[in-house]
Amino acid sequence: MESKRQEYFSVFREISKDILSTLDLKEVLKSIVEQVTRAMEAKGSTLRLLDERKRTLELVAAYGLSETYLHKGPIDAEKSVAEALQGRAVAVLDATTDPRVEYPQAAREEGIASILSVPLIVREKVIGVLRLYTDTPRVFSREEIEFVSALAEQSAIAIEHARLYEQVREDYTTLMNDFYLWFESREQPVVSGPGTGEQSRLG
């Protein structure tokens, strides 16, 4: 168990370094789903963000699962393990029979046994879900749930970091555009009106 804790810590530290060293959100999230799958010795994992307008969970990163399963259909935020969207971790022992699973037949065909869903939370608001899938039934321990929850928190931080950067970049671009427009307007030559001594700008 001690070696497992050390592995969890190493994964957490590595992902923290990724978040701090790159603004490529896609690569960071891809690293998170791969590393959580390996550390938990699971079948695969996904990271989905909530589309508030459509009330669906949109796939942004995945590891270890087939394209067929990943694109099995829209994921309804209210039907698909809704407790996670209320801010709670949700463990499903049998994904093929649990009524909280939206596509049990697809889970059976993919060879999925158990699912752990944990929320991504930013400023006390759920923005998505990190899910772990196993190919054998598993009762997730408290330590496992805490580890996956910590990675979900890192995912949320990375997403917020990227969004803030994009907002700052857009604000900076707008500011520079406004400045250039102002500067160009100041650069227009000034001439005297004919016979009046008044000054007017050339249009």
pLDDT of residue 5: 80
Contact status, residue 110 vs residue 66, Cβ threshold 8 Å:
yes
Residue 188 has a pLDDT of: 59
Assess contact for 28 and 45: CB atoms under 8 A: no
Total-model pTM: 0.77
Check residue 182 and give its pLDDT: 73
pLDDT digits (tens, 9 = 90+) for 29-84: 999 999 999 999 999 999 999 998 888 999 999 999 999 999 999 998 877 667 78
Residue 149: predicted pLDDT: 94
Instruction: Give the architecture (CATH level 2) of 2-165.
Output: 2-Layer Sandwich (3.30)
DSSP secondary structure string, the chain? -HHHHHHHHHHHHHHHHHHHH---HHHHHHHHHHHHHHHTT-SEEEEEEEETTTTEEEEEEEESS-HHHHTSS--BTTTSSGGGGGT--EEES-TTT-TT-S-HHHHHHHT--EEEEEEEEETTEEEEEEEEEESS-----HHHHHHHHHHHHHHHHHHHHHHHHHHHHHHHHHHHHHHHHHHHHHHS-EEEPTTT--EEE--
What pLDDT sits at residue 200? Answer: 44
CA dist., res. 132 & res. 197, Å (int): 79
